Structure 1
Amino acid sequence: MKILVTGFDPFGGEKINPALEAVKGLANTIKGAEIKKIEIPTVFGKSAEVVKVAIKEFQPDVVLNIGQAGGRFALTPERVAINVDDARIPDNEGNQPIDEAVQQQGKAAYFTQLPVKAMVTAIKAVGLPGAVSNTAGTFVCNHIMYQVQYLIDTQYPTIKGGFIHVPFIPEQVVDKANQPFMSLTDMTKGLTAAIEAIVDFEGKEDLKEIGGAIH
């Protein structure tokens, strides 16, 4: 199995993006799967072009995008991406689409093909907080998850795609009161566990466990 894992560069005035740093810490092989790690820009459109080139060159079986979600306390595999760009802040090149479609011809939403319940169970099994998320937001994180799903729907039907959000790291919350955080070492440990679950559940149904949310 070949897995393409992406991490965003820093954005929103931050000097570091824990998603990218945690991805850098991943082993090159996990449970026999070849892991290719790349940095992608926090830019609408351009992020998708970088991933599209990497897919063409690497021909992965799985594309797993990793992004930062400050304020969350857990590693959160995303269930769904929606066809909306609605940027609360500008991206790293000043783009700020408001209520625009990610893809004019795309579906309203796409669900991940990855076993998110099994991934959460694996994250918790290594002693870290994990939860299924039902919203990837409307910034570049949702954008790239949707763009990958659109590519799967239109060009690469055998590929599976998904997204995991990670929290802040300690140095990001020094001046942010009451914000949860996680160490980079733990993030990489949790991402590794999630990837192991992806490998283990290849060709299998996801776990049928509680993972919904009231709100």
Structure 2
Amino acid sequence: MPRVLITGFEKFAGAQSNPTEEMLIGFSYSDAIVKTRVLPVTYASAFSELQAEIKEFSPEFILLCGLAEHREQISIEKIGINYINSQIADNAGEQPLDVKISDGGADGHFSTFETSTLVSYLQQCQIDSKLSLSAGSYLCNFVLYKTLEMLKGSSVKVTFVHFPKLSRHASIKTYQQVLSHLLDYIVQQPSLSEQQIQSTAKSFAAID
């Protein structure tokens, strides 16, 4: 069975909760080996904790999830860009503005999922979803860019999924159903070859 890491974020900006944290509580899926992790909303720790989780778990697929309060649809992110411009401070009080994530790094890294196909699949499942060309310039984009940069050249598939705020049309149960549909899509993907498995193992071993 495929190994899938799903992440969410803790609450931030004075909010009482974050649906991407709540939807991971008690979530289960029987046709994949799934591990979940809630990341801190801090530039200092979010990626370092994710990096350690990736090295320990060795996933084949990574679904990074976050909250986009002003969006009305599930958004599958196409690209992470090498840029931070924090409109609010993180939970440690840090607020970097107009800076690069990685000096000398690529301007952007594309998601390694077939994002358009994934969106089409969700739409066929009656999930209101769209392809997004901007993951923002805050922590969501930060962890997407850093993860894609770290795993560049490996066979690990990575994307970011933005969830709207909860409403009478969108509950935690609804979002857990979305996760299940995402995993249904993943388990339909071809298994890794032995060469890809060895290449992936080398990628994880190189993480420091």
- Is TM > 0.5 for Structure 1 vs Structure 2? yes
1:155-188: CA deviations, max 9, x gaps? x7122211000000138xxxxxxxxx62111111
Secondary structure in 2 aligned to 1:123? helix
Shift, 1:116, TM fit? 1.6
Whether the 8 Å contact between 2:29 and 2:180 is mirrored in structure 1 is no
Q: Report deviation, 1:35.
A: 0.7
Is 1:161 the equivalent of 2:162?
Answer: no
Gaps of 5+ in 1: 172-180, 204-215
Q: Name the CA distance, whole Å, in 2 between partners of 1:117 and 1:13.
A: 34
> What's 1:11 paired with?
12
Once the two structures are superposed, what CA deviation does each residue of 1:111-160 show, in whole Å capped at 9, x if it has no partner? 0011222322232233221111110000000000011011112xx71222
1:59-70 alignment, distance < 5 Å? 59-70=58-69
Secondary structure of 2:187 counterpart: helix
- TM-score scaled to structure 2, two decimals? 0.85
- 1:28 deviation in Å? 4.0
Match status 1:137 vs 2:136: yes
Instruction: Give the alignment of 1:61-140 within 5 angstroms.
Output: 61-140=60-139
Secondary structure at the aligned position of 2:177 is classed as: helix
Q: How far 1:99 moved relative to its partner?
A: 1.1
Separation in structure 2 between the aligned mates of residue 94 and residue 202 of structure 1, nearest angstrom: 43
Unpaired runs of at least 5, structure 2: 192-208
Post-superposition offset of 1:199: 2.7
Runs of at least 4 residues of structure 1 off by over 6 A?
A: none
Measure, in 2, the Cα distance between the counterparts of 1:128 and 1:28: 18
Cα distance change, pair 70–200 in 1 and its aligned pair in 2 (3 A): same
The aligned length equals 191
| Distance change in 2, residues 1:6/1:115 (3 Å) | same
CA distance in 1, matches of 2:81, 2:22: 26
CA-atom RMSD in angstroms: 1.9
CA contact (8 A) 2:28 2:34 kept: yes
Aligned partner of residue 24 in structure 1, secondary structure? coil
Matched, 1:198 2:186: yes
Residue in structure 2 matched with residue 26 of structure 1 by the alignment: 27
- The question of 1:184 aligning with 2:167 is answered no
TM-score scaled by length of structure 1: 0.83
The CA deviation at 1:190 is: 1.3
1:48-80: per-residue Cα shift (whole Å, max 9, x none)? 000000011101111111000001111111000
Identity %: 26
Deviation per CA, 1:84-130: give whole Å up to 9, x if none: 01100001111101111111132110000112223222322332211
Q: Structure 2: how far apart are the matches of 1:96 and 1:146? A: 18
Q: Residue 176 of structure 1 aligns with which residue?
A: none
Match of 1:150 in 2: 149
* More divergent stretch after superposition (78-87 vs 38-47): 38-47
